[in-house]
């Protein structure tokens, strides 16, 4: 199934997965950009943004759990975030953390908060509509991880 065919399925979990990848890239870039600031609390929120970018990477690209040497506890934590509702909850928690960064100072971390919220909404809509989670084949879902073993 090509990327165009995946988007044509109108499955919100596919939209959420690709928004998650976009969010991960933006969170990494803006986390680094905002870490060089004067506000100590904004530095903490930037570090949390960087950490969430790596968590998103492992959530959205399951192939990396087989390739990268990670601990069994981390693998178990990431594997628990497998349904649409748990992904929506995980993105909601990360979004709330980034929305709280506004209290310290208005920064570009707001863009990450918006994308995290949109991604969580996509997964929530997939859950409400009863759509099964479908991982993108391009990102290592639907049996690609088993093919390399």
Least confident of 20-29, 44-53, 69-78, 97-106: 69-78
Whole-number Å distance between alpha carbons of 64 and 140? 8
| Contact status, residue 141 vs residue 62, Cβ threshold 8 Å | yes
Whole-number Å distance between alpha carbons of 75 and 12? 25
State what percent of residues in the chain have pLDDT above 70: 84
Q: What is the pLDDT of residues 48-75, one digit of tens each?
A: 999 999 999 988 887 787 888 888 888 8
Q: What is the number of structural domains in the chain?
A: 1
Rounded to an integer, the average pLDDT of 123-146 is 71
Q: Which residue range forms the structural domain that includes residue 99? A: 3-147
Q: What is the pLDDT of residues 76-98, one digit of tens each?
A: 888 888 888 999 999 999 999 99
Could you tell me where the DSSP H helices lie in the chain? 3-8, 12-34, 40-60, 63-67, 72-80, 84-104, 109-128, 144-147
Whole-number Å distance between alpha carbons of 17 and 99? 21
Rounded to an integer, the average pLDDT of 127-133 is 84
């Amino acid at each position: 199934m090509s990327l165009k065919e995946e988007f044509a399925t109108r499955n919100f979990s596919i939209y959420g997965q690709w928004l998650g990848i976009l969010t991960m890239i933006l969170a990494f870039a803006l986390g680094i950009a905002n870490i060089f600031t004067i506000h100590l609390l904004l530095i903490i929120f930037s570090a949390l943004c960087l950490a969430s970018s790596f968590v998103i990477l492992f959530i959205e690209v399951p192939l990396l759990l087989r390739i990268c040497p990670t601990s069994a506890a981390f693998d178990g934590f990431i594997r628990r975030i497998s349904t649409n509702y748990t992904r929506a909850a995980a993105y909601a928690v990360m979004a709330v953390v980034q929305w709280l960064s506004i209290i310290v100072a208005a920064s570009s971390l707001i863009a990450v908060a918006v994308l995290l919220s949109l991604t969580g909404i996509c997964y929530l809509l997939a859950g409400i509509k009863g759509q099964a989670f479908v991982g993108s084949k391009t990102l290592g879902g639907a049996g690609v991880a088993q093919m390399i073993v």
